Structure 1
Amino acid sequence: MFQDFKLVDDRPVAIQVKEYIKRLIIKGALQANQKLPSTREMSGLLKVSRNTLIAAYEGLEDDGYTYTVPGKGSYVAAMLEPMTSDHGGADVSAAWQIDWKARMNEYAVSAVELDIMKQGIRAKKGAISFTSIAPDEQLFDLGDVKRAFMDRMAIEGQVLLNYGYAKGYKPLIDYLMRYMENKGVDTSGKDMLITSGFTEGFDIVLSALRPSARSGAAICENPTHHTAIKNLKLQGFEITGIPMEHDGIDVEQLEAVLQSGASRFDLAYLTPSYHNPTGIVMSPAKRSAVMKLMMRYQIPVIEDGFNEELRYSGAHIAPLIATAGQGNGVIYIGSLSKVLFPGLRVGWVLGDQALINNLESIKRARSIHTSTIDQSILYQYLLNGNFDKYVKKARMEYKRKYELTKACCDAYLPEAKLSGDGGLHIFLTFPTGVNTRHLLEACTEQGVIFTPGDRFFIQEGEGTNTLRLGFSRVTDENIEKGIRIIGQQVRGFL
């Protein structure tokens, strides 16, 4: 015994010793009331200092795994015995086997079926990956983030480490309310809920708007964000997709759908700026037309503020919620994850005060509150004036990569129609003879992967000739090389 103890470099030795002995006790290698070797003897067996053993033994006693008999030493405390049959005998716990798959409800089964990460693309190490639309971590200004953390912890560190409020960290809420006002939003009669990123905010809103007596019905752009499709389906919404044009949603088609059955739609989900996956920015004229239709038919709009801050082409365009004025028909869900740091899981929902009041209670019931430390770091980072400096740098870099990616597509993929006005990705539509699922298989063999476009469409079988290229985390060399390889494979399909 004690011959299999091995130290690792990155943990305190006393903790490693304590955990090692604890495992022996749990496994039954050390029995209840068995005397442990003395600290002097054990230090020799494990080849660590005696002071380390003293600290480890004290930790074991504190955790209830051992007890001390004065003058005699440390002994193993009694543990809960494994289950045995009614007549005694061997451990029978192995007989308690539940078929968890059979017990999963429709929601759980659907979650797995819609989980594209589990059905995701598998590529060899070193492959050129265009699948990500996360920010490039090489741009992160770690010094400013560390400073923000230290500044906030110095001010109220003990408070930040305790429970927070379901609605959110008030200094951050106040800051973001002013931030939205600077986008032209009339915040009178509106309030804000802080969430753990966009996805939680969207899910909470859907759960509040889902009808109780029937399936919900939603309108959205087609294609659209696959996470939105997944959550709409999981929440029981039937989705009607409206095709996209070069400057945003097809307004005539939208109006025709509304005229045919407006009363049955519970909400519309729209991404007007740097739309995912097409990258299209909805024109001012279409924004106005869409909002007039939604107002006429009294349909609430969930606006996704996706990538809104990464504008590096064209003039600033106000979000839909700004065009609504004092109206309360738009629910804006924002996040800085695609601009700043996805590791800080902070998003927000801006909407009517009565709506936010209900969403706050749902949030409290589900997760109590979003990490207060995350919220406070973001707040201090913004307060310190780092955001504008960072965004300016990020825009310049992503614009350069966008132009490089576009030039490579023009050179190597001339048969593809390209859409995307900025952000972190572009969207390609090929002639109908190119199935991008099959193209992906061929490219994977050549060490290049991308996201097939069909997963962004509402109905199965749509968009089979499309793909999304995320360029934000790909080097210049690999952008050129990867797109050239995709072009070579496309030749075979044409």
Structure 2
Amino acid sequence: MFQDFKLVDDRPVAIQVKEYVKRLIIKGALQADQKLPSTRELSGLLKVSRNTVIAAYEGLEDDGYTYAIPGKGSYVATMVTRLAEDNGDSVGSSAWQIDWKARMNEYAGSAVELDMMKQGIRAQKGTISFTSIAPDEQLFDLGDVKRAFMDRMAIEGQVLLNYGYAKGYKPLIDYLMRYMENKGVDISGKDMLITSGFTEGFDIVLSALRPYGRRGAAICENPTHHTAIKNLKLQGFEITGIPMERDGIDVEQLEKELQKQTNHFDLAYLTPSYHNPTGIVMSAAKRSAVVKLMMRYQIPVIEDGFNEELRYSGAHIAPIIATAGQGNGVIYIGSFSKVLFPGLRVGWVLADRALINNLESIKRARTIHTSTIDQSILYQYLLNGNFDKYVKKARTEYKRKYELTKACCEAYLPETQLSGDGGLHLFLTFPSKIDTHELLEACTAQGVIFTPGDRFFIQEGEGTNTLRLGFSRVTDENIVQGIQIIGEQVRDLLKGQR
């Protein structure tokens, strides 16, 4: 005994000794009321200092694993390791087995079926992966983030470590309200809820707008963000998709659908800027037309402020919520996750004050509040003036990668149609006879993967000739090599179909 103890470098030695002895007790190698070696003896056996063993024994006693008898030493406490025997029948852990799959409800089952991460391809080492549209962590300015953390902790660290408010960290709310006002939003009559990223905000809003007694009905662009499709379906909404044109949603088709199904839709979900997956920016004229249509039919709009900061060319276009003026029919959900530190799970919902009042109570019931430390670090980082500097650097780098990716697609994939005005990805549409799942299989064998586009369409069987190409975390060399490989596999597939 005590011969298999091994130290690791990254943890305090006393904690390692404590946990080692604890494991021996739990496994039964040390029995109840058995005397432990003296501190001097164990320090020699484990080759650690005696003070380390003393600290470990104190920790074991604090945790209830040992007890001390003054003048005699430390002893193993009695542990309850199994359920008591009843009428001679041993009731152990192996007797209590539940079939959890059979217990899962429709919501849980659907969550697994719609989980794109579980259904996706796991990239092998060395694979060129175009699947991610997360920011490139090499651009993160760690020094400024550390400084923001230390600044805020020095000001109110003890407060930040306690419970926060369901609505959010007030300094951050005030900052983001000004930030949205600078985007042209009329904030009179509006309020804000801080959430753990876009997805939680979207889910909370859907749970508040979901009708009782029937399935909900939503209208959105087609294709659209897979996470939005997933959450709409999980919340019981039937989805009607409206095709995209080069400058955004097909407004004529949208109007026809609204006329055909008057008073049918409970909400619309739209991503007007750097739309996921197409990358299209909705024109100012179409934003105005959409607002007028939704106002006429009294349909609330959930606006996804996806990637608005990653504009590479052209003039800034105000979000739909700004176009709506003093109207309260738009619910704006924003985050910096695709631009700035997705590890800080912070997003926000900007909407009518009465709606935010209800969403705040839903948030409190679910998660109490978003991490106050995360909110405060983001606030201090923004307050210190780092955001504009970082976005300028990120925009320059992503624009360069965007132009390289676009040029490679034009050179090596001439048979495709490209869309994407900025952001972190391009959307490719191939001739109808190309199945991008078949293409993915061929490319995977050559060490390249991407996201098939049908995952972003509303109905099964749509978009089977499309794919999304994320370039944000791919090196220049791999962008060129990867797109060359995709092009070669496309040509092979087309040859095979002749």
Q: TM-score, normalised by structure 1?
A: 0.99
Where does 1:25-104 land on structure 2 (aligned, <5 Å)?
A: 25-88=25-88, 90=90, 92-104=92-104
**Counterpart position of 2:359:** 359
Q: Whole-Å Cα distance in 2 between the matches of residues 4 and 358 of structure 1?
A: 57
Residue 422 of structure 1 and its aligned partner are, at CA, apart by: 0.5
Residue 23 of structure 1 and its aligned partner are, at CA, apart by: 1.3
Q: Whole-Å Cα distance in 2 between the matches of residues 327 and 289 of structure 1?
A: 15
**Counterpart position of 1:133:** 133
Q: Whole-Å Cα distance in 1 between the matches of residues 462 and 202 of structure 2?
A: 25
Residue 357 of structure 1 and its aligned partner are, at CA, apart by: 0.3
The answer to whether the 8 A contact 1:433-1:493 is kept is no
The answer to whether the 8 A contact 1:196-1:345 is kept is yes
Compared CA separation, residues 123 and 160, structure 1 to 2 (3 A): same
Report the RMSD for the aligned CA atoms in angstroms: 0.9
**Counterpart position of 2:120:** 120
Where does 1:242-391 land on structure 2 (aligned, <5 Å)?
A: 242-391=242-391
Q: Whole-Å Cα distance in 1 between the matches of residues 266 and 28 of structure 2?
A: 59
Which AA in structure 2 matches 1:304?
A: D
2:191 aligned with 1:191: yes
Where does 1:387-398 land on structure 2 (aligned, <5 Å)?
A: 387-398=387-398
Which AA in structure 1 matches 2:388?
A: D
**Counterpart position of 1:444:** 444
Q: Deviations over 1:210-247 (max 9, x none)?
A: 00111100001000000000000000000000000100
The answer to whether the 8 A contact 1:215-1:236 is kept is yes
2:417 aligned with 1:417: yes
Which AA in structure 2 matches 1:432?
A: S
Residue 83 of structure 1 and its aligned partner are, at CA, apart by: 1.8
Where does 1:87-236 land on structure 2 (aligned, <5 Å)?
A: 87-88=87-88, 90=90, 92-236=92-236
Residue 40 of structure 1 and its aligned partner are, at CA, apart by: 1.1
Q: Whole-Å Cα distance in 2 between the matches of residues 491 and 97 of structure 1?
A: 53
Residue 19 of structure 1 and its aligned partner are, at CA, apart by: 0.5
Q: Whole-Å Cα distance in 1 between the matches of residues 91 and 107 of structure 2?
A: 35
Compared CA separation, residues 52 and 89, structure 1 to 2 (3 A): farther
Q: Whole-Å Cα distance in 2 between the matches of residues 68 and 467 of structure 1?
A: 66
Q: Whole-Å Cα distance in 2 between the matches of residues 336 and 122 of structure 1?
A: 26
Q: Whole-Å Cα distance in 2 between the matches of residues 123 and 314 of structure 1?
A: 36
Which AA in structure 2 matches 1:61?
A: E
Residue 46 of structure 1 and its aligned partner are, at CA, apart by: 1.6
Q: Whole-Å Cα distance in 2 between the matches of residues 335 and 237 of structure 1?
A: 24
The answer to whether the 8 A contact 1:84-1:93 is kept is no
Residue 76 of structure 1 and its aligned partner are, at CA, apart by: 1.0
> Mean Cα displacement is larger for which, 150-159 or 41-50?
41-50
Which AA in structure 1 matches 2:364?
A: R
Q: Whole-Å Cα distance in 2 between the matches of residues 81 and 417 of structure 1?
A: 65
Q: Whole-Å Cα distance in 2 between the matches of residues 101 and 201 of structure 1?
A: 29
Residue 129 of structure 1 and its aligned partner are, at CA, apart by: 0.5
| 5+ residue gaps, structure 1 | none
**Counterpart position of 2:454:** 454
Q: Whole-Å Cα distance in 2 between the matches of residues 307 and 262 of structure 1?
A: 32
Which AA in structure 2 matches 1:269?
A: Y
Q: Deviations over 1:442-475 (max 9, x none)?
A: 0001000000000000011000000000001111
Q: Whole-Å Cα distance in 2 between the matches of residues 262 and 139 of structure 1?
A: 48
Residue 150 of structure 1 and its aligned partner are, at CA, apart by: 0.7
Q: TM-score, normalised by structure 2?
A: 0.98
Q: Whole-Å Cα distance in 2 between the matches of residues 393 and 88 of structure 1?
A: 72
Which AA in structure 2 matches 1:433?
A: K
SS of 1:117's equivalent?
Answer: helix
Q: Whole-Å Cα distance in 1 between the matches of residues 219 and 91 of structure 2?
A: 56
Q: Whole-Å Cα distance in 2 between the matches of residues 89 and 356 of structure 1?
A: 57
Q: Whole-Å Cα distance in 1 between the matches of residues 4 and 410 of structure 2?
A: 61
Which AA in structure 2 matches 1:319?
A: P
> Mean Cα displacement is larger for which, 119-128 or 109-118?
119-128
Compared CA separation, residues 329 and 363, structure 1 to 2 (3 A): same
Q: Whole-Å Cα distance in 1 between the matches of residues 40 and 194 of structure 2?
A: 55
The answer to whether the 8 A contact 1:202-1:333 is kept is yes
Q: Whole-Å Cα distance in 1 between the matches of residues 106 and 45 of structure 2?
A: 55
SS of 1:481's equivalent?
Answer: helix
The answer to whether the 8 A contact 1:219-1:269 is kept is yes
Which AA in structure 1 matches 2:33?
A: N
Q: Whole-Å Cα distance in 1 between the matches of residues 455 and 84 of structure 2?
A: 50
Residue 124 of structure 1 and its aligned partner are, at CA, apart by: 1.7
Q: Whole-Å Cα distance in 2 between the matches of residues 138 and 93 of structure 1?
A: 47
Residue 409 of structure 1 and its aligned partner are, at CA, apart by: 0.3
2:52 aligned with 1:22: no
Residue 278 of structure 1 and its aligned partner are, at CA, apart by: 0.1
SS of 2:198's equivalent?
Answer: helix
